Structure 1
Amino acid sequence: MQHLSYRLKGQPISIWVAETESDLEQFRDFVSRHRILGFDTETTGLDWWNADRGFRCRLAQFGTGAETWVIPVEKGPVFVEAVRWALLRLEWLVAHNGTYDLHVVEATLGISMEELAPKMWDTKLLAHLVDPRAVKERGPGLKLEELTKFYICETTAEEVKGSIRELAKKYKTTKEKIWKLVELFDPDFLLYAGMDPALAYRLFQILYRLVPARSKSQGLIGWEHQLAHVTAKMERAGYLLDVQYAEMRCEELSAEQQRQELIARTFGVDNVNSNQQLIDVFTDLGVKLTKRTANGNLSIDDDVLSAISHPLAASVVQAKKAGKWRKTWFERALNGRDSTDRVHASINSLMARTSRMSISGSIPAQTFPSGDGYVRHMFLADEGHVSCSIDFGNMELRYLAAFSRDPTMLNAFVNGLDLHQITADAADVARKIGKMANFLTVYGGGWAALMEQAHVDEATARKVLEAFARTYPGVGAFGKRLADEAKRTGYVYTATGRRLPVDPGKWFRALNYFVQGGSRDVTARALLKLDAAGFTPFMRLPIHDEIVFSFPKADAREMAREAAKLMEFPVQGLLIPADAEIGDRSWGSVLELEESKH
């Protein structure tokens, strides 16, 4: 048995590493003395869905804030069984980003998420409830290293959580590849692994106390853990990939990129991604470049290129676009699929300052072009199924109307009037500009943003927003109340009891945070209701105010009706409706059906 030790602010932490089967007796004795332990796994990568292609769990770690055990499950069945026994025996587990570990355990150790999720405490979720701000927003962040630095010890964050960088150097590889290459009993690796459950355990003790009383009293802790389990089941199901379609798009985009790069070479640009080459060539062509980066260097970004009226600029933009689309969407999906051609998204159920969900990994759905099925066509409903999208109608604006109690806005929704036209008529502008003004209010934008989006002058932009304020005075009054609350306390609380920090001097954003956070909770509530009703096996992705489904073709209409009914939700007496669209087999067909109706 190996024994490693670490001192955290003078406090000793013992790390025991089981090397032989006889060492497992002491491990079992340790587990038997606790009801709750920190838990973590070390694996060969992040692709937990590829257990049949070589993905494996290498270590499993358990511990308190002062003592941890590292079990080398890679050594064989006896060690695997010891970990399984511990996981099933413990009443509670504490992990950071526990969803990943649930996937790992299910894929490699044979214990289903349904068995372990109910007793999992996730410190990432707790951290968000305490303070959702990223480090770049002057918050604590949500990663274990960031939280360790902020709440526990800056030195430990650097020495232990940051040590993986040094470990990669030691093996002359990268952080992404070290997990497969590092020797199982490397002391640096074992220290890194052994500290994870101790840090998660300590974070849990700190963060649970810091979760606002209002959040606790309204059940947000349990709610967010249930939601994380629902989205984890959606991740596990995956989305069927049309491999032929994705490969075809890759070939087309690659050919387009090469064609545009060939044109660029005729002007002397060998590498369209070389800013210096582009600056030199455009300068020689007599193009005056004025925009500069934060460092003071000349900028040649897409906005600059798009404003240059020259064939070279157009070719560079198109070449970059083709390359980016190919790599970001199609190649990522092809490279991320499992042995059954399913792609598994990373659904972050609690992200952003306002708590809005995000989707990353092999299906970065929130980056797909809006109003276009080009990318979405590569995702298919299951065999014998059709794709269905159910989204909420004007969710954010209805949520705003419900809480602001503005009579004109409420009347428009209750009586089916065109809110965007009402705003447009009040400002004497086109409907699309009125629509932009309505949504900018929800998203916290001002006249400058309206100028840019609507391509109007400053006077017009100001006039439209002034007309909005006159037409819906209840919205302004409600926004002022929230801003005053934020100025007084530094926070705004959503209707569900979620505390969202507002930066000093940006108090006007309190309205945006309230509406965005509350609207996200409407979607979250819908996911929980759908899960309780047995719809989760048919759910594929949640995207803001939309949920995408794969329904059996024969039952699609009835199931879509039932799902939409479950999703509908009255807020302060105002219904937020849900509308279903059923397409053919590809997800893209649903979007094209929606567009054809407009």
Structure 2
Amino acid sequence: MGGDCLKVIRYPLRGQPIRINVAETKRDLRAFYEFVKANPVMGLDTETTGLDWWNAGYGFRCRLVQFGNASEAWVIPVELGPPFVDAVKWALDKAELLAAHNRGFDIHVLEECFAISAEMLIRKTFCTKLLAHLVDSRARKEGGTGLKLEELVPHYICAEMGEKVKKSMTEIARRYKVKKADIWPIVELFDDEFLLYAGMDPVFAFRLRQILHPKVPARSKQQGLIGWEHRLHWVTYQMERTGYLVDEEYVRRRIDELTEEEHHWKAVAAEYGVDSIGSNAQLVEVFTALGFKLTKRTKPSTNHPQGQLAMDESVLTGIDHPLSEAVLKAKAAQKKRTTWFEAALNNRDSNGRVHATINSCQARSARMTVSGAIAAQTLPAGTGYVRHSFLAEEDHVTVTIDFSSMELMFLAADSGDRRMLQAYKRGEDLHDITATQAFGPIPEGEAHHPKRKAGKGTNYTVCFGGGWRAVSGQWGITEGDAKRAVKGFWEAYPATRRLANACSAEARKHGYIYTVTGRRILTDPKRPYAAMNYRIQSSCRDITARAVIKLHEAGFTPWMRLVIHDEIVFSFPKGRARDLGEEAARIMEFTYKGLLIPADAEIGERSWGSVLDKEDSKH
């Protein structure tokens, strides 16, 4: 404690003392005001009762708001009421520049809990997660720095101390004898360890911005990628806030069906002596008694230095017995129920909407992902089964717009391959062309080549960086046909081979490639052949990102619901759906090196799933 009775926590960070000031009373705020006046650039963070910001007023609340520079932070307990909330509002308005990690969450919190203008905050807040992605987009498992704060702090700031502070909430939860997920609403507001954890976050955010901004490649800066990613994030932020209506009746029916299915298969498993399908020990014991030889083991651990006999999906799939079938089907029903339907039902706000997280810059290629209440990346393809859970507004219909064969068309334009470009400009079937090159002419009287599936599988697989093994395994093509088809692809489109070689050479020489938008993608030394795939995937992502930004500029944001790879889902007024769909598609289409990459709209009924249920659906 300082002599003026202000609560102060001091923490050494690489030999430099960090001072964390805690405003416990209105009188303490005087010094906070002086701090803000002297620091026009600050780090920003919030501490809340959970992640469900949309439930503010219904259990969710913001407890602390923190500001900081490289060596000093202020913790403001907004949970104590208006004087502290007013101080935060004043500070946010006064600040010229802010840095926050994963800024979307903090801005959602401040807008929802305190009616602070999100647009004002977005304009002045750098997201250090976006900066980190522009420096190194690889996940930790890919050899990169990762994008989470607990990954970046040890790498860029201080390995030992950074990791210690970020893990402190786990220790606090143990002290309170609760799980980490349950500690946030119950930890005492002025718990010293909690205040240390909270106070260090804005210091980390401030320092990360200082460290990362200079590390963003000059080419990326010259081509405006920092502003580009922040503008895109503002659009996806608004989509998150709008949310997506849930069809409660439909969702409850699916939950009941899957619960019944799960119970049925659990009962079958119980007949063989398995009371808990999640118990490795029970499954190993029963299958061993049934005469099955089990060899696969889990990873070694402290308690099991040699690992344990495994009972994962790959093991169960390889066992031909009614018990393995029952366990697999019971687990599948349980996973569908919890991941798809209960996640939607349990995460609704008071208006019946879910607010999924749209990660606007996520994969190594920067591909957007959707997580949370709508696990978009896991939804089954070609069916509206899960998508029927989500509804357009009343008197609206769902319209989806996506790019047709974007990756292949981009490859054609980027490589300049004459045969591929000719096919697109003449409206020829590229899959038939590949099959013809590999297997000979289309038989007389046939509309398509009998080996067209091999041609199609090869076109897409090569575009995604795969070889003949991937063609065979993913498309059900025989090994011989897969080899011939891949050989035929490179022969039919020789310029694509030259592009692939150029990308691989760039990756070998530098350890990275640049995309057409100036994005640097670090590559794997042992996989230089994947460089062309990264170039294609990342550039196509940026075509989609451009479309999102252009749609926003044209006033379409209130109608946009989700972005999933190269598709955007809209809720349009029923009477205007066709006109708006055509206009949005025109905005989205993009010409690259003289080749038009078109966007096509499909109009459904009210549910998202209705688009996929149409007889002529492209999905």
- When normalised by structure 2's length, the TM-score is 0.94
One of 348, 355, 375 as aligned partner of 2:366: 355
Q: Distance in 2 between matches of 1:315 and 1:13?
A: 57
Partner of 1:335: 346
Distance verdict in 2 for CA 1:596–1:59, change over 3 Å = closer
Q: Write the distance in 1 (CA, Å) between the matches of 2:387 and 2:213.
A: 40
Distance 1:128 1:248 in 2: 41
Is the contact made by 1:388 and 1:583 (CA closer than 8 Å) also made in structure 2? yes
Q: Partner letter of residue 435 of structure 1?
A: K
**C-alpha contact (below 8 Å) 2:611/2:617 kept by paired residues:** no
Q: Which residue of 1 aligns with 2:414?
A: 403
Any unmatched runs of 5+ in structure 1?
none
SS in 1 for 2:366: coil
Quick one: distance in 2 between partners of 1:489 and 1:483?
A: 10
The answer for the alignment partner of 1:43 in structure 2 is 48
Match of 2:122 among 94, 117, 123: 117
Aligned to 1:201: 206
In structure 2, C-alpha distance between the alignment counterparts of 1:442 and 1:176, rounded to whole Å? 41
CA deviations on 1:301-328 (whole Å, 9 max, x unpaired) are: 3344344443323222211111110011
| 2:133 counterpart of 1:128 | yes
CA–CA separation in structure 1 for the residues paired with 2:143 and 2:11: 29
Structure 2: how far apart are the matches of 1:463 and 1:300?
A: 38
> 2: CA distance between counterparts of 1:52 and 1:217?
44
1:523 paired residue number: 544
2:178 alignment partner in structure 1: 173
468-477 vs 369-378, which deviates more? 468-477
How big is the shift at 1:297? 5.2
Alignment of 1:413-452 (within 5 A): 413-428=424-439, 430-452=451-473
For 2:315 and 2:177, the matched residues in 1 are separated by: 39
Q: Which of 449, 457, 472 is residue 493 of structure 2 equivalent to? A: 472
Matches within 5 A, 1:46-195: 46-195=51-200
Q: Which residue of 2 aligns with 1:30?
A: 35
Q: Which one-letter code corresponds to 1:62 in the other structure?
A: F
Paired letter, 1:122: C
- Matches of 1:199 and 1:344 in 2, distance apart? 28
After alignment, is 287-296 or 441-450 more displaced? 287-296
Aligned match of 1:386: 397
Shift, 1:73, TM fit: 0.5
- Tell me whether 225-234 or 315-324 shows the greater mean CA deviation: 315-324
Structure 2 CA distance, aligned partners of 1:440 and 1:298?
35
Deviation at 1:595, TM superposition (A): 5.4
Question: Pick from 235, 239, 242: which aligns with 1:234?
Answer: 239
Separation in 2 of the partners of 1:6 and 1:590? 56
Rounded to whole Å, the distance in 2 between the matches of 1:336 and 1:33 is: 41
Sequence identity (%): 56
Q: Deviations over 1:404-450 (max 9, x none)?
A: 11111111111111111211222236222211111111211122222
**Residue identity matched to 1:371:** G
Q: Deviations over 1:119-140 (max 9, x none)?
A: 1101110000000111111211
- Structure 2 contact 66–202 (Cα < 8 Å) conserved: yes
Separation in 2, partners of 1:267, 1:487: 55
**C-alpha spacing 1:299/1:191, structure 2 compared with 1 (3 Å):** closer
Partner deviation per Cα, 1:471-515 (whole Å, 9 max, x = no partner): 111111100001001111100100000000001121001001000
Indicate whether 1:265 and 2:270 are aligned.
yes
Amino acid at match of 1:236: R
CA distance in 2, matches of 1:551, 1:112: 26
Establish whether residue 593 from structure 1 lines up as the match of residue 614 from structure 2.
yes
Contact 1:371 1:595 in 2 (8 A): no
Give the secondary-structure state (helix, strand or coil) at the position aligned to 1:176.
helix
- In 2, Cα distance between the equivalents of 1:588 and 1:221? 35
**What CA distance in whole angstroms lies between the structure 1 residues aligned with 2:396 and 2:34?**
51
CA distance in 1, matches of 2:491, 2:79: 67
Q: Which one of 497, 519, 524 corresponds to residue 518 of structure 2?
A: 497
TM-score by length of 1: 0.97
CA contact (8 A) 1:146 1:157 kept: no
* CA distance, structure 1, for counterparts of residue 325 and residue 451 of structure 2: 31
Q: SS in structure 2 opposite 1:45?
A: coil
SS of aligned partner of 1:133: coil
Measure, in 1, the Cα distance between the counterparts of 2:607 and 2:151.
40
For residues 8 and 231 of structure 1, the distance between their equivalents in structure 2, rounded to whole angstroms, comes to 35
Taking a change above 3 Å as real, the CA distance of residues 294 and 572 of structure 1, as seen in their structure-2 partners, is farther
SS in structure 2 at match of 1:68: strand
Identify the match of residue 503 of structure 2 among 479, 482, 498. Answer: 482
Q: Is the 8 A contact 2:432 2:455 kept in 1?
A: yes
Deviation at 1:291, TM superposition (A): 5.2
Q: Counterparts of 2:317 and 2:17 in 1: how far apart (Å)? A: 59
